[in-house]
Amino acid sequence: MKFPSLSQLQNDAVTAINRFPLSLVSAGFGSFLFIYLIEIDQFQQNLELVNLLLAFALGIPLFFCIDIYSEKKKLKPTHQKIGWVIALIILIIIFLSFPRENTFTTTRVPYIRYLVYNLTTHLLVAFVGYLKEKEDHAFWKFNESLFLRIALGALYSIVLYTGISLALGAIHLLFSLKIEPETYFQIFILVMGLFNTWFFLAGIPKNQEKIISPESYPKGLKVFTQFILIPLLLVYLTILYFYGGKIILTWDWPKGIVSYMIIAISVLGIFTYLLLFPIRDLKESSWIKTFYRAFYFLLFPLIVLLFLAIGIRVQEYGLTVNRYIILLMGIWLTFIALYFIFGKAKIKTIPISLAAFMIFGAFGPWSMFNLSEYNQLDRLENILQEENILRDGKIQREVKWEVTEVNKFEAIGSKSTNQLDAEALDEVNSIVQYLEDYHGLEAVLDWFEQDLSALYRKASEKNRIYFYIDYSQFVIESMGLKFIPDYLIGQDYPSDKYFSYAIEQESIRIITGFDYEFNFYSNEGNYKHQWTLPAGVEADMDFDPETQQLYFSLENSSVQLDLASFSDDLKNKFGSGHVGELSEKEVSFNYSDESVQLRIIFHSLNNNGGENGKVDQFSGVILIGKKN
């Protein structure tokens, strides 16, 4: 193997700057901006800088497309610069489409669209210079160069990063020099972002017009595809066909995850075909054509299985962005299979069609965003109308709120004004939380008499730094329903019996008028507590789980608290399930007589799934003030 000289490396580096200047500028600015964000460790607070980083990242392939197309078509420098200006305007528009702050109205839609832009731009790199080429040889040779350069660049970058990291580790061990953990990540970003991009661009050949000969086809690539990728592909196809047979025999509907597996295996098969394209016509490789004609026929039963699996999910849970993408990929796979069975089999059709399908699915009234939002809103509206919670476009028995002085929402009256069975409640919670994440909740705000958006904004502006209340929880509870976090949706516990109330965590508590503070934690088998005051006086607390009576005594004072009534009041106000961030006032009990002032503050009050619905675990503090 002939290793390049230092002068050759220098010439390649300078050539890359001259050929792809703005791609390298984007890589450089993006890398250093990422390093800065890691240093200040404030990604959430600097959303505009994160958005700028994404724009720089997209600029690398976008400017590369302009430069490759200009070289291929031999455009004048003036025309190339016009292309740069157009690309810059596109990047500015995309940057401005991102939200400037991470507020309760921020959704994932702009960032999903960004992924579509990024994928489309990378696909554009593959074919932009070869749209009018009659043969696919130059197209394949160019993409082979890209593929091998990416692989080689990744190898060199990993070796370089590993070497630098080991050197820093040696300095740390030998000289006791402290090196922050984020420094290693910053070096990784610099190596992968700048060095790797530069190395990749320096190896892009200018002339790809020659026909591929069997001798020029990389032997290592041939071995890799024929003896690794194809056997793996056959194994995965066999597994999926056995799974399809199991469905037919047991009539057990397919699981949703099988859709992802089918897409992954189909993409693997298409990718393998692309790698083997140049040698498919060789006499000794004639089996490739036969194998892949059979492969595309074999895809059809799997595509049917894909549509069946995702169709069941859509029927049960509605259309989402993810399910739309799976359906779109299923349609694309159908098109590709039919094309390569009956068409002229131009391989550049693969990236061109995929880019077209992705753009089609991202814009217009038929887009993944519009159709999924409309479908989920329709499902939510139907559930609420069937249960008489939504009538004539308005929520019935809506919970009204006021914002307290401590920056919290407090319900005016009960929060449990409406009831749903467990399945419907899960559905409502799932839909509202999905809408908040992907589309925003503006479409449902007209259902309420209160201006929930203005009320939420008012509370958040009181304390911008520390304020955080889940917006979907606020909307669901305004419907008079119980909020269930997404990680608890579908959990099999007795939701009407289970409850868990927890106090908000405060760093400071005013204890004027009290002399002593005792902590307690009570659960089954540990309900009795005793404390000794400095004067030798003993304080006792006991709990009877059957009668739900909590007893406290100190000298001549004795207190009895009915925790059943206390927890029922909390249920009526906040509902069952897990309810956190309650104020001290809402979970406190006060008592006073001639000799003592007492306050019991519950940090937690739980029924851990017991069918009797009784309190079985609680914790908190007791504040005692002695009167003279």
* Structure tokens that stand for 85 in this block: 């200006």
Mean pLDDT for the stretch of residues 300-305: 93
pLDDT at 225: 85
Residue 497 has pLDDT above 80, yes or no: no
Measured distance CA(325)–CA(415) in Å, rounded? 38
Is the pTM higher than 0.95? no
Query: With bands split at pLDDT 50, 70 and 90, how would you rate the model's confidence at 532?
Result: confident
Nearest to residue 563, comparing CAs of 509, 514, 602, 603? 602
C-alpha 108/C-alpha 442 separation (Å) is 15
pLDDT digits (tens, 9 = 90+) for 384-407: 999 999 999 999 999 988 876 656
> With pLDDT > 90 as the criterion, what percentage of the chain qualifies?
50
pLDDT, tens digit, for every residue of 162-220? 999 999 999 999 988 889 989 999 999 999 999 999 999 998 987 655 555 556 777 78
Backbone angles phi, psi at 311, to 5 degrees: -65, -40
Question: CA 616 to CA 563: how far, in whole Å?
Answer: 10
Q: Say which range, 34-38, 351-355, 534-538, has the weakest mean pLDDT.
A: 534-538
User: Cβ atoms within 10 A of the Cβ of 87, count?
Assistant: 21
Interval 528-536 mean pLDDT: 85
Query: Which residues, at least 6 apart from 625, have a Cβ–Cβ distance to it below 8 Å?
Result: 513, 514, 515, 516, 596, 597, 598
pLDDT tens digit sequence for 160-170: 999 999 999 99
Contacts of 167 (CB under 8 A, 6+ apart): none
- Across the chain, mean pLDDT equals 87
What is the model's pLDDT at position 467?
47
Q: What is the pLDDT of residues 215-242, one digit of tens each?
A: 677 778 788 888 888 899 999 999 999 9
What pLDDT score does 609 carry?
64
329-388, pLDDT tens digit by residue? Answer: 999 999 999 999 887 778 999 999 999 999 999 999 999 999 999 999 999 999 999 999
In this predicted structure, what is the pLDDT of residue 465? 41
Query: To 5 degrees, how large is the angle CA 521–CA 527–CA 530?
Result: 80
